[in-house]
Every structure is written in C-alpha cells, then in structure tokens.
C-alpha cells in the first residue's frame, strides 16, 4: 500500500490513493509500490540493506556495491544533500555501478552548509533509479528471513508498468554467485595518487615526503583508503585489477595493497589469485581489505561462501583477537572467508561479534594480513585506522626485495 506523505488521518471523501510511479519487483514475484526518485527507467540487481545513519553519498559511490540495489534502513536519506567531496569511487564507471536505491521517507531539501546539489538531482545525473515511500523495515525483515533477492527497480513518472514483464525479468536475473563485477569498476590504466586526508576548513591535503612505495591493486578501490595510505607516509601507485605480477614487481613496491571491490571473489580470483600468490612467494608485504581480504584467503587455499544477508552498515562490532580489543567498524560485503578452511599458516585475527564470521587473517610465513571490514570508514567510525600504521610497520620489518 502506498503512503501519501501529504495525507493525515482519515482520507476525505473523494480521496484516491496516489498512483505508484516506481516499483520494486522481487524474483519471487513480490511487488512493492512507491514514488520514483532519481533516473527514469529500470535496473536489475541484488537487493541488500544498509543500517548506517550517515554517509549515504559515500555508500552510493562505493564501488563494492556494483550490481546491487541498496535499501537504507535509516528513513531520512537525502537531508544533507550531496557535495563534491564525499564521492568514494575513483572513476566515473565505478560511481554508476550501483543499480538502484530504496528509501523510506521523501527526500527533503538539503540542510547542510556543504551541500551543492539535491540528492534527487544527483541520482538523475548518475542514472541511478530510486524508490521512496515504501516500508523499508518490512523489506529489511524480508531480506533477513529469506536472504538477498534479485529484483527489478523501475521508475516511470506516468505510472505505466508492465508488471508481468518486470516479474519475468526479476525471475531471470543472474545470481551474484560466480559473477565477476570488478571489470565494471577497476581503473583502466596505472596512475599515481596524491590526495591525503580531509580537514575541516582545509579540505583534502596533499602527499608529503613518502617513506614507502605502495602499489594498490584496484578491484574497486575507495578514495579514502588511498588517502589514508598517503597520510601514513606512502607513495601510492594504483594499477588495474588485470595488472600482472611482473608489472607490479617492476614498480619495486615496498608493499602491495589489495583493495575492496564487488562480486563473487571466486570469480575474480581466477585472474587475481595467481598474481597474489606470486607476490606472496616474493615476500612482498601485503595488506588487503574486503574483496582483497577474500582474495588473500583464496590465494592461501581457503574458501569463500555467499552470506545469507551480508554485512552492510557502520556499526558492526569486531574483536581483534591479537589485542582483545573490540572496535566498531564499517562493513559492506556479501561473501566471507570460511574460517574452517584456513590453512595452518593463516591465523584468524578478527571476528564479527554479530555472527562470528571471519573478519581478518594474518599469515605466519609471509608478511601479509587482511581484514573483511573497512578500516578507512567513509562512512563510519575511525576505530580501525591503526591498521594502516600496522601495514607501514610491516613494511619496515619486512622490506620487499628490490631485485
């Protein structure tokens, strides 16, 4: 049932329910009606929910969401508008990887001094189809009970929909299992990164005098990861996901970073894992985040599995088993490393306190470690920034061969 945001109490005589201008059609045939926002058209993707209360622009531009339709559980999305500083994708292709957005309340006018554009206009400019006015709590409960469904999201200002056709397209949608989406978001060529962290009143800083050279393999990297590497004193060179081990080693890195990204890690691993194994054999200090964590796990012989509902939010408690401390983290992943499949040379270092799933590993015979969550946040807490310093200390302790 649609909820007219202008109606209150008992409808007056002659009142008619407003016509739906957007639909979400799930793969099981369920149809949710609402009001269209953003681009006109339709898109197919996997529906997930995100529990973050802030940072929707960073979430909507996170390349790890490529192929997905995001449902925000927090109702007031769009209230601070959008700006030119909070985009997380490195390239334009990555920023359009998201398939759609679902929100509860209608978008209000921006009420923040940093806003430069209304969220609706921002979505239109990026071709992102959106839907408002639905019960996002009920949709979230459905996902929790039945898993992340494929769906079609459609927006037509005239409310003209071929519902049976939409149901057929939703039912025929390709599963995320076995899907390599990294080619949609990775950089097309190598480049150097110069931007450092953001400061109020100053904006983003510039790289200083680096002490280490890090090659970041871009599977869909977020800007703030690169900024924090720069802030930690690293010269950062970004290479495409298809870069060979020889190409990476020719840059003589002190360390290699394995980035976040979308899709099924086992599919991306077909070309990424051999490269990572070569880097490990050369004992290059290695740090992975999110998809990079999963690929490191695959490279040492572990398995990855599809999660029921995934982890998407900025309030996930994780225990660091090496220190005993608990940190609140930002997460965005639908696959996880199976801890029972870890080899003897891979130690579990972090674990989710929500469901016990693996959130980090470190190798005992190679200078390499990784975490499932996003220590760079954006959005989210900064509890885990220490991991970038840990990477620098690893490069200090295990200098990579320059031969």
In terms of Cβ atoms closer than 10 Å to its own Cβ (0-12, 13-18, 19+), residue 276 is buried
What is the residue whose two structure tokens read 């990294």? 182
- Residues serving a catalytic function are 290, 374, 376
Candidates 309, 349, 239; CA nearest to 50 is 309
Cα dihedral value 47, 51, 57, 61, nearest 10? -40
Handedness of CA 35, 41, 45, 50 (dihedral sign): negative
CA distance 386 to 389: 5
Tokens of 384: 């885990």
Distances in Å between the Cα of 212 and the Cα atoms of 245, 255, 362, 397 are: 19, 8, 21, 12
Q: Are strands 255-258 and 286-289 parallel, antiparallel or unpaired?
A: parallel
Q: Hey, what are 45's tokens? A: 């993707």
- Bridge partners (DSSP) listed for residue 89: 222
């Amino acid at each position: 049932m649609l909820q007219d945001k202008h109606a209150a109490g008992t409808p007056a005589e002659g009142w008619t329910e407003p016509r739906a201008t957007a639909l979400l059609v799930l793969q099981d045939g369920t149809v949710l009606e609402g009001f269209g926002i953003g681009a006109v058209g339709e898109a197919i993707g996997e529906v997930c929910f995100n529990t973050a209360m802030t940072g929707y622009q960073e979430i909507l531009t996170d390349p790890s969401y490529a192929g997905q339709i995001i449902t925000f559980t927090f109702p007031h999305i769009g209230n601070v508008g959008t700006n030119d500083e909070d985009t997380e994708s490195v390239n334009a292709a990555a920023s359009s990887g998201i398939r759609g957005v679902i929100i509860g309340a209608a978008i209000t006018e921006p009420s923040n001094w940093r806003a430069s554009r209304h969220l609706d206009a921002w979505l239109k400019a990026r071709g992102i189809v959106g839907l408002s006015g639905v019960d996002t709590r009920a949709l979230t409960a459905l996902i929790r009970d039945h898993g992340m469904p494929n769906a079609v999201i459609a927006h037509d200002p005239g409310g003209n929909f071929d519902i049976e056709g939409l149901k057929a397209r939703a039912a025929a949608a390709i599963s995320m299992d076995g899907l390599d989406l990294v080619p949609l978001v990775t950089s097309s060529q190598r480049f150097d990164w110069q931007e450092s962290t953001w400061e109020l009143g100053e904006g983003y800083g510039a790289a200083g005098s680096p002490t280490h050279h890090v090659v970041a393999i871009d599977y869909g990297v977020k800007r703030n990861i690169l900024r924090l590497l720069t802030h930690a004193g690293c010269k950062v060179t970004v290479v495409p996901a298809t870069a060979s081990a020889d190409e990476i080693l020719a840059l003589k890195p002190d360390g290699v970073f394995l980035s976040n990204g979308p899709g099924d890690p086992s599919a991306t691993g077909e070309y990424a894992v051999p490269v990572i194994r070569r880097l490990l054999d050369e004992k290059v200090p290695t740090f992975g985040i999110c998809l990079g964590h999963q690929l490191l796990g695959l490279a040492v012989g572990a398995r990855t599995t599809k999660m029921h509902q995934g982890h998407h939010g900025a309030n996930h408690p994780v225990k660091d088993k090496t220190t005993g401390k608990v940190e609140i983290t930002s997460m965005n992943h639908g696959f996880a490393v199976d801890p029972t499949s870890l080899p003897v040379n891979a130690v579990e270092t972090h674990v989710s306190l929500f469901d016990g799933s693996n959130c980090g590993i470190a190798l005992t015979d190679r200078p390499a470690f990784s975490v499932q969550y996003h220590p760079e946040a954006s959005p989210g807490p900064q509890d885990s920034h220490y991991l970038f310093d840990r990477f620098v200390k690893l490069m200090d302790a295990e200098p990579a061969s320059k031969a």
